[in-house]
Amino acid sequence: MQIPSKKILVTGGCGFIGSALIRNLISKNSHQIINLDKMGYASDKENLECFFRENKKLKERYNFFRLDLLDQKSLKKLIFDQKPNLVIHLAAESHVDKSISNPNAFVLNNIVGTTNLLEVLLEFWNSLKNYKKNNFRFLHVSTDEVFGSLNEEDRFSENSAYRPNSPYSASKAASDHFVRAWYKTFNFPVITTNCSNNFGPWQFPEKLIPVILMNLIKKEKVPIYGNGKNIRDWIFVEDHVEALIKCAFNAKIGEQYCIGGDNEISNYDMAKLICSIMDKKLPWNKPYASLISFVGDRPGHDFRYSIDSSKIKKDLGWSKKYNFEDSLSYTIDWYLKNQNWILNKSREN
């Protein structure tokens, strides 16, 4: 179905999910895209530039602004100059391990960054009249990690209590609460999503799947935390992006949606699965699984995440399109074709 064209501000658009969202939004409609990113260590302009080299015409509807959400003065100028009618907020520090070594960066970027944006957008939204005011929306992109850790049976849903366990998830939980408060206190038109672990091309090699692949490519030990039994619910990034677009355009204001991939697998089983795929794609003189090595557990490591996505399926007709094995195989092919990218990133980090 064709959706109406908008002027969309994406924050964090040079990150892994933000760049996939922009590639999707700009190729399927005639939206204008404004990408705001501070260009942190996990950002990469190439994830969009290489797409625009193949799709030159599309770049006419794209503008990039290097800007930190902590610089509220410049942020205000950008919003009032550009006048977006949809904001999709992904900018955040996103790595749990970094939040353990430097929690304050997560307080600043994820909490203060979000409230800076909300303050400016509220002022901007209040300056709009009639149709433009009614037509404005803010989509806040969050994580299932805000709900904490599950036992072997339960699932997270929109009714789950917030029980964050890491500085990362605590900072995302705080940002979710501020977004909710803007809706309840100011009637500001928000929608919030909480998604499970994403995978796909261009993910920075600090997250599990690219870390496994980077080490296998280098023929180095693959570190797995604790006993490797921690379970994650994996979703292909393109399925997440489709869900975000459904929420941004079709969800009722004030709603919250959980998004999951229905692919639960332990970290150890994921490592073994990737090793077995690599044995076929890039044969070596030993099984790649011989490189798996258990290391000391992450403090406060959540045991299991699992998402019940029935609300978004029922309300918005979203369902995942990509088969887990096929999208994992596609992702591995991408990393094998872009070995220099992943090796350079691992040197920079």
- 260 interacts with ligand NAD by CB under 6 A: no
Task: Look up 145 and say whether it is catalytic.
Answer: yes
Rg (CA), the chain: 20
How many Å apart are CA 118 and CA 121, to the nearest integer? 5
Cβ closest to ligand NAD, residue 7 vs residue 95: 95
Q: 7 to 26, contacts with ligand NAD by CB under 6 A?
A: 11-12, 14-18
Shortest Cβ distance from residue 17 to ligand NAD (Å)?
A: 4
Q: Residue 205 interacts with ligand NAD (CB under 6 A)?
A: no
- In sign, the C-alpha dihedral spanning 273, 225, 203, 137 is positive
Closest CA to 203 of 341, 1, 59: 341
Comparing CB distances to ligand NAD, the nearer of 72 and 339 is 72
Backbone angles phi, psi at 232, to 5 degrees: -125, 155
- Name residues contacting ligand NAD, limited to 53-72 (CB under 6 A): 68-70
User: Residues with Cβ < 8 Å from 283, sequence gap 6 or more?
Assistant: none
Say which of 44, 62, 68, 168 is annotated catalytic. 168
Q: Which of residues 109-138 bind ligand NAD (CB under 6 A)?
A: 109, 113
Residue choice 32, 114, 198, 306 for contact with ligand NAD (CB under 6 A): 198
Q: Is 211 in the site for ligand NAD (CB under 6 A)?
A: no
172 binds ligand NAD (CB under 6 A): yes
Q: Residue 282 interacts with ligand NAD (CB under 6 A)?
A: no
What secondary structure letter does DSSP report for 108? I
Q: How far apart are CA 252 and CA 298, in angstroms?
A: 38
Cα angle vertex 33, ends 32, 35, to 5°?
A: 160
**Cβ neighbours of 168 (radius 10 Å):** 24
For residue 96, state whether it binds ligand NAD (rule: CB under 6 A): no
Q: Which stretch binds ligand NAD (CB under 6 A): 78-86, 90-98, 221-229, 285-293?
A: 90-98
Measured CA distances, 328 to 181, 220, 290, 308, 334 (Å): 38, 21, 21, 22, 10
Closest CB to ligand NAD among 42 and 291?
42
Residue 201 dihedral angles phi and psi, to the nearest 5°: -60, 155
Residues interacting with ligand NAD, by CB under 6 A?
Answer: 11-12, 14-18, 37-40, 42-43, 68-70, 90-94, 109, 113, 141, 143, 172, 195, 197-198, 204
**Active centre residues (catalytic):** 144-145, 168
